Chains A and B, each alone.
Chain A
Amino acid sequence: MGIKEIQEEIVDEFSMFEDWMQRYEYMIELGKSLPLIDEKYKIDGNIIKGCQSKVWVHAELEGDKLVFTADSDAIITKGIIAILIRVFSNQKPQDIIDSDTKFIDEIGLKEHLSPTRANGLVSMVKQLKMYAIAYQTQLN
């Protein structure tokens, strides 16, 4: 599935919930099911700055696709990462670079996060795109 389709799927899922407590519950479940990052990648160099909680992200190429793994010490943050990974992992770097992130606004994620967490979300998206740019350069 392409990035756009996955984003639409997530927007649909979020629209089914009645309130933000339910959405939080969903994100927590996603967070709990996030495949863990290999411990050896949980190093300071892989920490994304701008979060009150710690976030580690690791990226590697499998064939022509970029695979992300990540972890956080906070579960809601893990849920947010899980959503981003579902959208951007296993995609071609160029597709990641070309994609937009309107779905984040559509599900209302940013406005329902605290300002520090919303900043963290922006940093995470930026970091995933940076990885895509770096690996695209490598592929070229």
Chain B
Amino acid sequence: MEKTTFNPITIRKDFPILNRKVNGNPLVYFDNAATSQTPQQVIDVIVDYYSNYNANIHRGVHALSQEATDKYEQARIKIQKHFNAAKPYEVIFTSGTTHSINLVANGFSSILKAGDELIVSAMEHHSNIVPWQMLCERTGAILKVIPMSEEGELLLDEYYKLLSGETKLVFCNHVSNALGTVNPIKTIIDAAHEVGAAVLIDGAQAAPHIKADVQELDVDFYTVSAHKMCGPTGEGMLYGKEEWLNKLPPYQGGGEMIAEVTFAKTTYADLPHKFEAGTPNICGGIAFGAALDYMNAIGFKEIAAYEHELLHYATEQLLTIEGLRIYGTSKSKTSVISFNIEGIHPYDMGSILDKLGIAVRTGHHCAQPIMDFYKIPGTVRASLSFYNTKDEVDVLVAGIKRAKAMLL
């Protein structure tokens, strides 16, 4: 695909789902932070896989297996290049960010001892809290929290106070799923390294908007879910520095991950296979690569610039609605707007918007600590993507006004 001038109207034609109607109204899809939509180019790759070269990889002697293996390993290299990992085997295919985080948390069980300290940010998704709490229960390590401000920004001075020689791991999202805040991860990583702690960055919400360079960040682990960036569900990656991936024990045992098995002893395969037990989501991995191709052809800079313009427009328009409050007002944000209207439960707002064909997310967004911080049951979250338009923002604003008139 050749790079052309960014035009959301042309881009929308790549997404068949955007033509459908919901409850009799044209779909306005503003739940992109939960799952992005899939362009025809990626759908074609999925169909091609199952139509032409579906086979198990790495072990087969036959042509289809070789083709599937080649395509799968090419996808790994695409992902490696996209995130600028030093080696292809530093990219581990997983089922997504949750799987990636659990893999690392499980590995640290054999490294941590009682009294070691872990630091988490106050604005994490449950998937970047619970695996670490489970790790603390297993090892006796202690979990500490970086607090945040009313604007939804991490208080770095408080973070520096938490760091010490006892700190072994710091984990934080690159972008908050509930607030859209882009966290200063380079600063967080550098400060952690000064005390010798490793850092895992949950990149699930950043990857659709920001092209992270793992070497420049000097991050130890970085996690991504394909379905948030035009790829399929049940697919993602864990980037880990080679030295760390060698230090961690395997997560799951099975086929593919072994070098030699006898009943006396099993030796494990080299990276990345050590962490890829069993038959993986082969088609998913290949389609993930295709999704990166698709987004790179449009250009991440172009995507970010347009989404920023959309965010600015949507914020301005939403704030014209009386009683509407936006949660997460950091200057550094992706195109996520979490809001409530005084006197209206987010769930009621979401239900009415759904009847109007507008898809938003409501609730705590798997980030209950943030909702507790603001003392609210949840928010309505509109998350915008590069294939959304200002016209759709206008439909949302009109929908909210109509719902407000009904509900108050």
B-binding residues in A (CB < 8 A): 19-21, 24-25, 28, 52-54, 73-77, 113-114, 117
Are B355 and A75 interface neighbours, CB within 8 A?
no
Are B406 and A25 interface neighbours, CB within 8 A?
yes
Are B347 and A24 interface neighbours, CB within 8 A?
no
Are A53 and B406 interface neighbours, CB within 8 A?
no
Apart from A25-B406, A73-B345: 8 A-B pairs, beta carbons within 8 A: A21-B355, A52-B362, A52-B378, A53-B345, A74-B345, A75-B345, A77-B347, A114-B351
Contact of B5 with A by CB under 8 A: no
Q: Give residues of chain B (168-215) contacting chain A, Cβ–Cβ below 8 Å.
A: none
Proximity bits, B325-367, A CB within 8 Å = 1, else 0: 0000000000000000000110110111011100000110000
Are B363 and A76 interface neighbours, CB within 8 A?
no
A121, chain B: closest CB distance, angstroms = 13
**How many angstroms from the CA of A98 to the CA of B206 in the assembled complex?**
54
**How many angstroms from the CA of A25 to the CA of B356 in the assembled complex?**
13
Are B347 and A76 interface neighbours, CB within 8 A?
yes
- Other-chain contact of B348, A20, A54, A74 (Cβ < 8 Å): A74
- Other-chain contact of B351, A19, A54, A73, A117 (Cβ < 8 Å): A117
Inside 8 A of A24's CB, which chain B residues have their CB?
351-352, 355, 406
Contact of B369 with A by CB under 8 A: no
15 A/B residue pairs, CB under 8 Å, sorted by A: A19-B24, A20-B23, A21-B356, A24-B355, A28-B407, A52-B363, A52-B378, A54-B377, A73-B377, A74-B347, A74-B348, A75-B348, A77-B347, A114-B350, A114-B351
Are B354 and A114 interface neighbours, CB within 8 A?
yes
Residue of A with least CB distance to B364: A52
**How many angstroms from the CA of A21 to the CA of B362 in the assembled complex?**
19
Residue of B with least CB distance to A120: B347
- Other-chain contact of A75, B350, B377, B407 (Cβ < 8 Å): B407
In the A-B complex, the 9 residue pairs with the smallest Cβ-Cβ separation, listed nearest first, are A74-B345, A74-B347, A52-B347, A76-B348, A74-B348, A53-B347, A75-B348, A52-B363, A76-B351
B380, chain A: closest CB distance, angstroms = 12
**How many angstroms from the CA of A67 to the CA of B215 in the assembled complex?**
66
**How many angstroms from the CA of A54 to the CA of B376 in the assembled complex?**
12
Inside 8 A of A113's CB, which chain B residues have their CB?
351
Residue of A with least CB distance to B351: A76
Q: Give residues of chain B (360-408) contacting chain A, Cβ–Cβ below 8 Å.
A: 362-363, 377-378, 406-407
B346, chain A: closest CB distance, angstroms = 8
Are B355 and A20 interface neighbours, CB within 8 A?
yes
Inside 8 A of B350's CB, which chain A residues have their CB?
114
A-binding residues in B (CB < 8 A): 23-24, 344-345, 347-348, 350-352, 354-356, 362-363, 377-378, 406-407
Are B345 and A28 interface neighbours, CB within 8 A?
no
A91, chain B: closest CB distance, angstroms = 29
B221, chain A: closest CB distance, angstroms = 33
Inside 8 A of A53's CB, which chain B residues have their CB?
345, 347-348, 377
**How many angstroms from the CA of A21 to the CA of B355 in the assembled complex?**
7
Inside 8 A of B24's CB, which chain A residues have their CB?
19
**How many angstroms from the CA of A81 to the CA of B111 in the assembled complex?**
52
Residue of B with least CB distance to A74: B345
**How many angstroms from the CA of A54 to the CA of B347 in the assembled complex?**
11
B201, chain A: closest CB distance, angstroms = 30
Residue of A with least CB distance to B363: A52
Inside 8 A of B348's CB, which chain A residues have their CB?
28, 53, 74-77
**How many angstroms from the CA of A76 to the CA of B403 in the assembled complex?**
12
**How many angstroms from the CA of A73 to the CA of B363 in the assembled complex?**
13
Inside 8 A of A21's CB, which chain B residues have their CB?
352, 355-356
**How many angstroms from the CA of A70 to the CA of B363 in the assembled complex?**
22
B158, chain A: closest CB distance, angstroms = 32
**How many angstroms from the CA of A31 to the CA of B356 in the assembled complex?**
21
Residue of A with least CB distance to B350: A114
B344, chain A: closest CB distance, angstroms = 8
A52, chain B: closest CB distance, angstroms = 5
A56, chain B: closest CB distance, angstroms = 14
Which among A19, A53, A54, A117 has the greatest number of chain B C-beta atoms within 10 A?
A: A53
Which among A28, A52, A114 has the greatest number of chain B C-beta atoms within 10 A?
A: A52
B238, chain A: closest CB distance, angstroms = 30
Inside 8 A of B377's CB, which chain A residues have their CB?
53-54, 73
Residue of B with least CB distance to A76: B348
Which among B352, B363, B407 has the greatest number of chain A C-beta atoms within 10 A?
A: B407
Residue of B with least CB distance to A54: B377
A136, chain B: closest CB distance, angstroms = 33
B274, chain A: closest CB distance, angstroms = 39
A79, chain B: closest CB distance, angstroms = 10
**How many angstroms from the CA of A21 to the CA of B406 in the assembled complex?**
10
**How many angstroms from the CA of A52 to the CA of B349 in the assembled complex?**
13
Inside 8 A of A75's CB, which chain B residues have their CB?
344-345, 348, 407
**How many angstroms from the CA of A75 to the CA of B345 in the assembled complex?**
7
A123, chain B: closest CB distance, angstroms = 15
Which among A28, A76, A114 has the greatest number of chain B C-beta atoms within 10 A?
A: A76
**How many angstroms from the CA of A78 to the CA of B110 in the assembled complex?**
50
